[in-house]
């Protein structure tokens, strides 16, 4: 099976160590290509990528959108034109994602086309996600209020389906009320709420595929905002990041960040 890891990032020279961790932790647990989509890369950024030996596609845009939003169209184009020869692809955030086990092992590609992972709580229990919905996509609030949040920072799938998935997210952002500068995750949850054409595997915290530590890890909000209890009530577990194939947002928790660094 031809496998690919990719993601979009800018300010590459500034985040060299994080990119090395992302790439090296992946290569330690599985085979497959790693290709970085380099957004508005400077000569210093290109030198950094060549220094660490990572394949890259340099993409220049002049959008007024934040990279969180403009990367959706970049990802759609990438999967349409450059990743079509792969069987399965993994698109992630770059600066705060690391791999502990093969992230492709649990992907049943005969049954599903897209794979996403839940954060463990519903929208109405998490103030940041609910705020973006209210400000940008109020028409979806009632439908999503009691549904679990799925994180747009880790998405796997077949390249042709991923291309359309990201394009559909772009279309949803075009309807935004522009009340917040980060819309990509809300747009994906809006897409999920009306999905009728994709075969999607919705991983939850008991599947041990991916953990998003901003909500499901011991940040300052884990107990204070009630995430720990809500996850226990919903899934009868207190998640341990060491049990997951993919660890996302580890940089929110200093002691876990230090342990993650040891993966390389």
Give me the long-range contacts of 228-234 (CB less than 8 A, separation at least 24). Answer: 230/120, 230/121, 230/122, 230/125, 231/120, 231/121, 231/205, 234/120, 234/121
Domains along the chain? Answer: 3-261 (3.90.550.10)
In sequence order, what E strands does 173-254 have?
200-203, 210-212, 246-248
The answer, yes or no, to whether residue 255 has pLDDT greater than 70, is yes
The pLDDT score that the predictor gives to residue 65 is: 67
Neighbours of 252 (CB within 10 A): 18
The answer, yes or no, to whether residue 8 has pLDDT greater than 90, is yes
Q: What is the pLDDT of residues 45-90, one digit of tens each?
A: 999 999 999 999 999 887 766 767 789 999 999 999 998 899 999 9
The pLDDT score that the predictor gives to residue 130 is: 98
Cα–Cα nearest to 233, from 97, 122, 149: 122
The pLDDT score that the predictor gives to residue 62 is: 76
Q: Give the gyration radius of the chain's Cα atoms.
A: 17
The pLDDT score that the predictor gives to residue 64 is: 66
Band of pLDDT at residue 259, cut at 50, 70 and 90: very high
- Reading the block at residue 58, the tokens are 């340099």
The answer, yes or no, to whether residue 245 has pLDDT greater than 90, is yes
The answer, yes or no, to whether residue 142 has pLDDT greater than 70, is yes
Taking all residues of the chain, what is their mean pLDDT, rounded to a whole number?
96
The pLDDT score that the predictor gives to residue 264 is: 73
Q: What is the pLDDT of residues 180-206, one digit of tens each?
A: 999 999 999 999 999 999 999 999 999
Over residues 20-36, mean pLDDT: 97
Answer whether 169's CB lies under 8 Å from 185's CB.
Answer: no
Answer whether 238's CB lies under 8 Å from 228's CB.
Answer: yes
The pLDDT score that the predictor gives to residue 83 is: 87
Q: What is the pLDDT of residues 174-185, one digit of tens each?
A: 999 999 999 999
């Amino acid at each position: 099976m031809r496998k690919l890891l990719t993601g979009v990032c800018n300010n590459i020279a500034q985040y060299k160590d994080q990119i090395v961790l992302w790439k090296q932790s992946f290569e330690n647990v599985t085979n497959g290509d790693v290709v970085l989509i380099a957004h508005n890369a400077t000569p210093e950024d290109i030198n950094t990528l060549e220094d660490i030996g990572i394949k890259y596609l340099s993409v220049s845009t002049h959008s007024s959108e934040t990279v969180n939003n403009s990367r959706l169209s970049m990802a759609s184009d990438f999967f349409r034109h450059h990743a079509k020869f792969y069987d399965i692809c993994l698109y992630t955030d770059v600066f705060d994602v690391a791999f502990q086990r093969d992230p492709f092992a649990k992907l049943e590609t005969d049954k599903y086309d897209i794979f996403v992972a839940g954060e463990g709580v519903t929208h109405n229990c998490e103030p940041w996600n609910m705020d973006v919905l209210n400000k940008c996509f109020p028409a979806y609030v009632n439908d999503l209020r009691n549904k679990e949040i799925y994180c747009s920072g880790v998405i796997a799938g077949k390249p042709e389906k991923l291309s359309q998935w990201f394009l559909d997210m772009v279309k949803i952002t075009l309807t935004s009320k522009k009340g917040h500068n980060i819309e990509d995750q809300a747009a994906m949850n809006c897409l999920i709420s009306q999905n009728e054409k994709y075969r999607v595997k919705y991983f939850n915290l008991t599947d041990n595929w991916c953990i998003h530590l901003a909500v499901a890890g011991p940040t300052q909000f884990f107990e204070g905002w009630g995430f720990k209890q809500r996850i226990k009530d919903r899934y009868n577990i207190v998640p341990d990041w060491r049990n997951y194939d993919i660890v996302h947002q580890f940089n929110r928790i200093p002691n876990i960040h230090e342990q993650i660094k040891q993966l390389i």
